[in-house]
Amino acid sequence: MSFAPERTDSWMLRTPLSWTSIFKSPVYAFQAWGWIGFASAVFLSSWLAAARGLYVPAVVFAAVVAALAFLLTALGRKVLTGEERLIFFQEALAVFCAAAILLYCLRLSIPLYLDVTALGVGTFLVFGRIGCFTVGCCHGRPARHGVRYRTEHSEAGFPSHFVGVRLFPVQIVESVFVACVVSAGAILFLRQSPPGGVFSFYIVAYSFGRFWMELARGDSGRPYLGSFSEAQWTSLLLSISVACAERFKVLPWSRWHWTIPLSIAVAMLLLGIHRRFDRAQRFELMHPLHVRELAEILQRMDAPVYSGKGFSKSKDPFQRIELHGTTSGLLISSARFSVSGPRTLHFSVSRQPRPLELRQVRRLAILISRLLCMGATIDVTPGASGVFHILFAISKENTRRVFQETRASGLTAASGVPTRRIGRV
């Protein structure tokens, strides 16, 4: 079975820079966008509070306390786990709890001021996701169209095996979605919504959107329970909590809020059934952990040499064969040869104990093509003993074009198929 390469050229985004400069001093882009988000959150919250007749100094004080709670939560996680990570749901819960405690001590309306706090948190997240986009954290999955990151980003913590790979810009999608949610919440607040109504609206709306955006996330350093990520389970629990709070009149009742946890629960049920009986096993093959393992394997494999002037010639057209495996039982080997015509990259794949099927191999072939950043014609051929052969026919013209694109994006390609090999970039 043969199929043509994916068309990706016209939709390739320019790689964002990891660093920016303010007053001739280098500033990490993620931190810069964070400060911009915090300032925007304080401004929006103060303006909304003034428009509604609330006590503005209390809102500013709550923003400072919320920022401290955010930083202390991140610091506590680093002390306990040894990893410097930001988990938005956990930080947001800490912010809301700190703000509620402060409002209780000041004897102010907790639901009403939490409305302003929720919109401030959302505003901060809008700019925070842009910061994530600039440095490559919380990135999306390998896709036909997307953004490519450079070695500069890998030095700042971006996975080196994804350097040069087109990744879906899920951070920008989330930023735009949250901006829409904050805008709708601000309109509700200015229209004199009942105290706590905007807070519950923000929680259920963001939970619903975050659940579906998790399907496009490609970072592998997040825990999973069953076939769903921690953020998806948290989205379900938060939406259920809001529905229960409205049922017991802690928060104002809304006719449609209860449909959010119900729809998330139904979606999880249907997705779980589909993933359980999906013979193509797309979820297992495209799981971020499995994609990372496959990308690391491809990174370790040698590639045919291309110097920019032409293909290097070898007396022996067949190169050595390397065998690698993933934790899911996938076995993959590669060989490179050029007898006549275009250079050919050959992969042999199999799996134990469950054999692969043709449609599974086809998805693997497309994934390998995306991870190797090449647009070759792909041929999948069944072999003996459950082994499938994937052949990538790479023309000199196509390789030269990808070589030029890769060099323009900040990579130094020294191979016929521009992989992201440490030491060659």
- Model pTM score: 0.84
Same domain, 307 and 254: no
- Same domain? 306 vs 380: yes
Range of the domain at 362: 295-408
Q: E strand or H helix at 380, and its extent?
A: strand 377-382
Nearest 5°: CA angle at 88, between 31 and 135? 35
**Do 240 and 334 belong together in one domain?**
no
Reading the block at residue 16, the tokens are: 């964002």
**H-helix or E-strand containing 351?**
strand 343-351
pLDDT along the chain (425 residues), means of 10: 52 49 66 92 96 94 94 89 84 94 94 96 96 89 88 81 90 96 96 94 96 93 89 96 93 91 96 86 87 87 42 45 82 70 78 84 88 78 86 63 45 32 24
Residue 325 CB-half CA count within 13 A: 8
Length of the chain (residues) = 425
> 388 — phi, psi (to 5°)?
-115, 145
Asked, for residue 56, whether it belongs to a domain, the answer is yes
Q: Is 307 helix (H, G, I), strand (E, B) or coil?
A: coil
User: Same domain, yes or no, for 55 and 85?
Assistant: yes
Q: Is 414 contained in some domain?
A: no
pLDDT of 410 reads 44
Among 249, 277, 305, residue at a domain's last position: 277
Distance of alpha carbon 417 from alpha carbon 370, whole angstroms: 11
- 171 and 315, same domain (yes or no): no
Residue 109 has phi, psi (to 5 degrees) of -65, 110
CATH number for the domain that contains residue 402: 3.40.1720
Q: Please check whether residues 190 and 254 belong to one and the same domain.
A: yes
Name the domain count of the chain: 2
Q: Do 335 and 197 belong together in one domain?
A: no
